Amino acid sequence: MTTHFFGDTAVLLGRSLRHITRSLDTIITTTLMPIAFMLLFVYVFGGAIKAGTGNYVNYLLPGIVLITIASGVSYTAFRLFLDMTSGIFERFQSMPIARSSVLWAHVLTSLVANLVSVAVVVLVALLMGFRSGAGALAWLAVAGVLILFTLALTWIAVIPGLSAKSADGASAFSYPLIFLPFISSAFVPTATMPGPVRWFAENQPVTSIVNAIRDLLAQQPVGANIWIALAWCIGILVLAYLFAMVAYRRKVA
Q: What burial letters (b/e) apply to 235-249, b meaning 16+ CB within 10 Å?
A: ebbeebbeebbebbe
Between CA 123 and CA 128, with CA 125 as vertex, the angle to 5 degrees is 120
- Does position 27 have pLDDT exceeding 70, yes or no? no
Residue 134 identity: A
* pLDDT-derived band at 96, boundaries 50, 70, 90: low
pLDDT single digits (tens) 58-88: 999 999 999 999 988 888 888 888 877 776 6
Banded pLDDT at 92 (limits 50, 70, 90) = low
Q: Which residue has the higher pLDDT, 247 or 198?
A: 198
Q: How confident is the model at residue 98 (pLDDT cuts 50, 70, 90)?
A: low
pLDDT of residue 8: 66
* pLDDT tens-digit series, residues 120-174: 999 999 999 999 888 899 999 999 999 999 999 999 999 988 887 887 777 787 7
Mean pLDDT over the full length of the chain: 84
Residue positions counted in the chain = 253
- The predicted pLDDT at position 1 comes to 46
Q: 207-238 pLDDT, tens per residue?
A: 999 999 999 998 888 888 899 999 999 999 99
DSSP string covering 102-134: HHHHHHHHHHHHHHHHHHHHHHHHHHTT-----
